[in-house]
Amino acid sequence: MSNEVRRFSHGSRVPGWDDAVDLTKEPASVPDPATTPVPDELRAEIEAAMAKYPDRRSAALPALAAAQRHHGWCSPEAIEQVACVMRLTPAYLTAVATFYDMFDTQPVGRHRVYVCTNISCSLRGADELCERIEQAAAGDPDISVRHFECLGACDIAPMASVDGVYVGPIELDEVDELIDDIRNGRPPLPRKQLRLRPTADSLPLDGKDNG
Ligand code: FES
């Protein structure tokens, strides 16, 4: 039987998820609070998350999310800080961060654009849309574009999540405007934002408000 692990060229696997462990290194221990400075705001967020659970390890996801917000990605320093506050080893948190693909363990742009290319979106042209968005954002270190599996908003296919804001259906000729909105700190395509629609079916799939 082949041991080959299936990889997806479009990047739906998190880079680094199967990086080999360096067996020559000593396992990292729980960081020493005396030598691990943690920003007050981040510490408070992590402690608030831990306070919600009887087992502090249950707070690993919100704690890592807080660290990612604070540092921009789950850098070794960010993981060290979470480990210090949670009294866990960096290895425990690295295992969690590399499993869930909304945690970035490599540096990424400040703005995250997830373009859904799952079945409903791909049937409505998501592959071409994703390519167009990648081209429009090419060379901009502030914008990271990646394919994503179903984001649970198939009724607005083809769609994308822009820093967590769901936008769709996105037409190819709206891509430049979308990227321009992101670059200039404006809300992305407000007329296409799911959260601004009164009901799921109030906007026809052509994206025009005919009523
Ligand atoms: S297939 Fe794209 S949101 Fe479900």
* Residue 129 contacts residue 115 (beta carbons within 8 Å): yes
Give ligand 1 pocket residues (Cβ under 6 A).
116, 118-121, 150-154, 157, 159
Q: What is the pLDDT of residues 120-174, one digit of tens each?
A: 999 999 999 999 999 999 999 999 999 999 999 999 999 999 999 999 999 999 9
Tokens of 79: 């993981």
Query: Ligand 1 atom closest to Cα of 119?
Result: 1
Q: Each residue of 44-72: b (16+ CB within 10 Å) or e?
A: ebbeebbeeeeebeebbebbbbbbbebbe
Confidence of residue 1 (pLDDT cuts 50, 70, 90): very low
Between 40-50 and 76-86, two packed helices, what is the crossing angle to 10 degrees?
50
Query: Using CA atoms, how far apart are residues 159 and 123, in angstroms rounded to an integer?
Result: 12
CA distances from 15 to 24, 107, 146 (A): 22, 11, 12
Pocket probe mutation, ligand 1, options 12, 113, 115, 118, max atoms within 8 Å of Cβ: 118
Query: Ligand 1 atom closest to Cα of 116?
Result: 2
Query: Ligand 1 atom closest to Cα of 126?
Result: 2
What is the phi-psi region of residue 207: left when phi exceeds 0, alpha when psi lies from -120 to 50, beta otherwise? left
Query: Using CA atoms, how far apart are residues 115 and 158, in angstroms rounded to an integer?
Result: 8
Pocket probe mutation, ligand 1, options 114, 115, 121, 161, max atoms within 8 Å of Cβ: 121
pLDDT at 28: 79
Q: Are strands 143-148 and 160-162 parallel, antiparallel or unpaired?
A: unpaired
CA distances from 157 to 151, 161, 204 (A): 10, 11, 11
Q: What is the pLDDT of residues 36-73, one digit of tens each?
A: 999 999 999 999 999 999 999 999 999 999 999 999 99
Query: Ligand 1 atom closest to Cα of 120?
Result: 1
Instruction: Please give the single-letter amino acid code of residue 87.
Output: R
How far away, in angstroms, is 25 Cα from ligand 1 center? Answer: 42
Q: Are strands 111-116 and 143-148 parallel, antiparallel or unpaired?
A: parallel
Cβ neighbours of 24 (radius 10 Å): 5
Query: Ligand 1 atom closest to Cα of 156?
Result: 3
Tokens of 146: 């990646």
Q: Quick check: helix, strand or coil at residue 175? A: helix
How far away, in angstroms, is 152 Cα from ligand 1 center? Answer: 5
Residue 65, phi then psi, degrees to nearest 5: -65, -40
Confidence of residue 92 (pLDDT cuts 50, 70, 90): very high
Domains of the chain: 10-105 (1.10.10.1590), 111-196 (3.40.30.10)
Confidence of residue 25 (pLDDT cuts 50, 70, 90): confident
Q: Which residue is listed with tokens 């404006």? A: 186
Identify the residue with better confidence: 159 or 98: 159
Q: Which residue is listed with tokens 């997830």? A: 114
